[in-house]
Amino acid sequence: MHTVGTFQIAAAEMDVLSTRLARLSPLDQADIKLLQHAEAGRRFSPARREMVHEGEPMGEPEAMLSGWACRQRILEDGRRQILAFLLPGDLIGLCRRTGAVAATTVMSVNDVQTCSLPSARPSEALAEAFARSAALEEHYLYAQITRLGRLDARERLADWLLETHERLDFVGLASRDRFPLPITQEMLADALGLTSVHVNRTLQGMRRDGLLTIRSGLVVLTNRVRLEQMTDHKPARPYSA
Amino acid sequence: MHTVGTFQIAAAEMDVLSTRLARLSPLDQADIKLLQHAEAGRRFSPARREMVHEGEPMGEPEAMLSGWACRQRILEDGRRQILAFLLPGDLIGLCRRTGAVAATTVMSVNDVQTCSLPSARPSEALAEAFARSAALEEHYLYAQITRLGRLDARERLADWLLETHERLDFVGLASRDRFPLPITQEMLADALGLTSVHVNRTLQGMRRDGLLTIRSGLVVLTNRVRLEQMTDHKPARPYSA
DNA sequence: CGCGTTCTTGACTGCTTTCAAAGATGGTGG
DNA sequence: CCACCATCTTTGAAAGCAGTCAAGAACGCG
């Protein structure tokens, strides 16, 4: 059961932050407590609100607790490129430097909950978890570049859907073959470097070929094997495990 | 005078590392000395050699001293995407984590010189310079995504040329309107998500329109104003200055 | 039930790719 | 010094993928 679009806290979304970080690095009870305490102080952003402003000084580092957000850049003539999506458990503005300004705008996609990261100097294990989270973020940026540069429309969609499933699954927000997708086809287009019209046509083609189903914000990957074949998609492997 | 393609050390390439980092954060004499000492221990990679292997454990962090390298990913069917170019003064494999594996392959483009970064715990100022270097790298990744996702061929080229000029200028390797370009049109195509044929045609169109000149590895931007107009290219601003 | 947003669809245009082959270019060895 | 070779650049014609413009259908919300 997903509660996309409301501020209600779904069972699956309890402790996403501590859960995700603990999966990235073995945290002890003290770290978990620290994170859960941080998660308690939730902040709310309504849909389509700029949470971070490109070019302005960055605030304190935060974490996504529920909802989706996106990093984006807008060109002078209005063209938009979505650089990445921020999902529950993801960190925002991690590496702070003196006088650092935000490199991109971050905008909430639907209603979003965030919390501040613990401000105390992190333990060794927690620092490791932060570093691995950053490494994953970097990995997905590289994947995005490859997608836009060398995949055609259908491959981009297949690859992106698999990646998103993988990320949501990592924090327990996806089942084996399905996950909630709270974004419009136009946002997908802006993320994948296509037009919304072409995204629509491509999705229909994939639906016709029995690859997937999309209705009312829920994606079902009906043929993962074939999707994976058409995009040599490799799951992220941020550390040698 | 550029010495592209040889191992000879050009005057302009002395101390690129300390020069670049000192421009990113005010370093004291001790830091400069430390970096210059590190630069003395040079390592050489011939053209087209894999310096870092995707998926394998990362070695120690290094710095580019001369020559060009690129981060790339190769798809199963042979398609290649160049994610970023590494220019003199750039850092490689900065953030080390236990068990970290390389997220991408790094390959030398022409003959390259590198050195290890000082292994001692860096001073406050030096750490700041490293952080800003990393922030710049991130900025250019976002720029690359926007380029591939939302710019057409001519805009991609204009934007990329301006960015590359800016980066080389930052380390004193470009003059006001020209810089060395030691890569083939095919590499440019793999970086910009195009085919080499189309890169060629587009460059010729730009040449015909008096925007630039390219011959034997040297680019001359003959009309920067117009280039900037056609790509709302904004120079990187890694810190509020 | 009505309105705005999102999704679909059609026809047409056009940028980019593909395939092929002919010129340059630069380095190497005779 | 020049022939030769590999690599890189340039060019042409044709096909294809994706974009544009426009309008109608469906959906969700109040």
CA of B197 to C1' of C18 (A): 10
Please give the mean pLDDT across all residues of chain B.
Answer: 91
Name which of A103, A193, A240 is nearest B142 (Cβ-Cβ). Answer: A103
- Nearest protein residue by Cα to C1' of nucleotide C9: A201
**Which chain B residue's Cα is nearest to A188?**
B149
Residue A133 Cα to chain centre, angstroms: 12
**Which residues in range 66-105 of chain A are in contact with strand D, contact meaning CB within 7 A of any of its atoms?**
none
Question: Which string of DSSP letters, residue by residue, matches B173-193?
Answer: ---SSEEE--S-HHHHHHHHT
CB B100 within 8 A of CB B48: no
Contacts for B76 with CB less than 8 Å, ≥ 6 apart: A232
Mean pLDDT, rounded, for A125-144: 96
Instruction: Flag if B99 and A239 touch (Cβ within 8 Å).
Output: yes
Q: How far B65 CA lies from chain A's nearest CA (Å)?
A: 24
Q: How far is A238 from chain B (nearest CA, A)?
A: 7
Query: What is the C-alpha to C-alpha distance for residues A152 and A203, in angstroms, rounded to an integer?
Result: 13
Do residues A105 and A53 lie in contact, with contact meaning Cβ atoms separated by under 8 Å? yes
Residues of A in contact with B91 (CB under 8 A): none
pLDDT score recorded for residue B235:
77
Mean pLDDT of B106-128: 94
**Whole-number pLDDT of residue A4:** 37
Check whether A29 has a pLDDT greater than 80. Answer: yes
Residue A84 near residue A137, CB atoms below 8 Å: yes
As a whole number of angstroms, the distance between CA A59 and CA A45 comes to 15
Where b means 16+ CB within 10 Å and e means fewer, A174-211 reads beeebbbbbbebebbbbbbbbeeeebeebbeebeeeeb
Q: CA B71, B57, A93 angle in degrees (round to 5)?
A: 65
How big is chain B by its Cα radius of gyration, in Å?
A: 18
Instruction: Identify which has the larger pLDDT, A3 or A187.
Output: A187
Protein-proximal nucleotides of chain D (any atom < 7 Å from a CB): 7-13, 17-22, 27-29
Which sign does the torsion angle of CA A197, A202, A208, A212 carry? negative
What's the pLDDT at B237? Answer: 66
**pLDDT (0 to 100) of residue A74:** 97
% of chain B at pLDDT higher than 70: 92
Judged by a CB distance cut-off of 8 A, whether residue B230 touches chain A is no
| Average pLDDT estimate for B207-216 | 94
Q: What is the pTM of this model?
A: 0.94
Q: What's the pLDDT at B119? A: 86
Q: Is the pLDDT of residue B16 over 90?
A: yes
Give the pLDDT band (50/70/90) at residue B7: very low
Can you give the pLDDT at residue B14?
Answer: 76
Average pLDDT for A47-73:
96
Residues A104-113: b if buried by 16+ CB within 10 A, e if exposed: bbbbbbbbbb
Which of A76, A99, A232 lies closest to B75 in CB terms?
A232
- Answer whether residue A117 shows pLDDT above 70: yes
List CB contacts (< 8 A) between B103 and chain A. Answer: 135, 138-139, 142
Q: What's the pLDDT at A113?
A: 96
Distance B130 CA to D21 C1' (A): 49
Closest A-chain CA to B141: A141
**Section A180-205 average pLDDT:** 98
The mean per-residue pLDDT over the stretch A38-60 comes to 94
* pLDDT given for residue B13 in this prediction: 64
Contact between A99 and A131 under an 8 Å Cβ cutoff? The reply is no
Angstrom distance (rounded) from CA B94 to CA B126:
13
Helix (H) or strand (E) segment spanning residue A157: helix A153-170
pLDDT at B10 over 70: no
pLDDT at B11: 47
CB B110 within 8 A of CB B67: yes
Mean pLDDT lowest for which of A213-217, B130-134, B180-184?
Answer: A213-217
- Cα–Cα dist B96/B58, whole Å: 8
Mutation choice for B interface testing from A97, A98, A199 by most B CBs within 10 A: A97
Beta strands in B60-111 (DSSP E): 62-66, 69-74, 80-86, 91-92, 105-108
What pLDDT is attached to residue B239? 58
Q: Which is higher by pLDDT, B64 or B232? A: B64
* Cα distance between residue B30 and residue B47, in whole Å: 34
Q: How far is residue B69's CA from residue B106's CA, in Å, rounded to a whole number?
A: 7
Residue with tokens 């020069």: B19
* A86, pLDDT greater than 50: yes
Whole-number pLDDT of residue A13 = 64
In percent, how much of chain A has pLDDT > 70? 92
- Give the closest of B83, B132, B149 to A142, CB-based: B83
Gap between the Cα atoms of A144 and A150, Å rounded: 10
pLDDT of residue A119: 86
Contact B86, B69 (CB under 8 A): yes
Question: B176 or B237: whose pLDDT is higher?
Answer: B176
CA distance to B27, B122, B238, per residue, from B32 (Å): 7, 12, 21
